[in-house]
Amino acid sequence: MLADPSGTFLERRLIHRTARGELVRSISEVVVADALHAEGIDYHYEKGLRGADGVERYPDFTAEDPATGVTVYWEHLGMLSDPTYANRWKKKLEWYKDVMDLEPDGPENKKGERLVTSENRLDGAIDSAKIRQQVREVFDL
């Protein structure tokens, strides 16, 4: 996949628009983006993240906690009931653990980074109020 200079993939699947006017892949990502935005969190969508192994990954959202300076990588898991999607997530999670020293929804690592996950229910539904509450908890708002 190609990336533009801002690090966003150039793909047709970016079809859903957030309150900030950016294009994202899924309605679930709109919900997360809009929750971050509503709580005043400045974030980047699919900003490239290069690990010590030289591999570049693209967290759904990257934001710096304004109070602590901790960098938060937020991954929204929208289709865990799909075996292909779940397998891709498993590999990406292994990379986060092995290369970045990050556990999902765990404490920050030595570099001041934290991995946060949110997910749809297995039937695909998303609860926007729950996501907004999670944003408040993650950023201690």
DSSP state of 57: E
Q: Within 10 Å of residue 22's Cβ, how many Cβ atoms?
A: 19
- The residue range of the domain holding 100 is 16-138
Asked if residue 134 is part of any domain, the answer here is yes
Q: Are 8 and 46 in contact (CB under 8 A)?
A: yes
Closest CA to 45 of 98, 83, 8, 87: 8
Task: Give the integer Cα–Cα distance in Å for 16 and 35.
Answer: 15
Task: Give the integer Cα–Cα distance in Å for 17 and 1.
Answer: 21
Tens-digit pLDDT string for the chain (141 aa): 334 444 444 456 889 999 999 999 999 999 999 999 999 999 999 999 999 999 999 999 999 999 999 999 999 999 999 999 999 999 999 999 999 999 999 999 999 999 999 999 888 899 999 999 999 999 999
Number of domains in the chain: 1
The SS3 call for residue 125 is coil
Q: Provide the whole-model pTM.
A: 0.88
Q: Within 10 Å of residue 41's Cβ, how many Cβ atoms?
A: 21
Asked if residue 99 is part of any domain, the answer here is yes
Asked if residue 6 is part of any domain, the answer here is no
Asked if residue 8 is part of any domain, the answer here is no
Task: Give the integer Cα–Cα distance in Å for 30 and 18.
Answer: 5
Asked if residue 5 is part of any domain, the answer here is no
In whole angstroms, what separates CA 137 from the centre of its chain? 15
Tokens of 54: 């030289």
CATH number, domain with residue 126? 3.40.1350
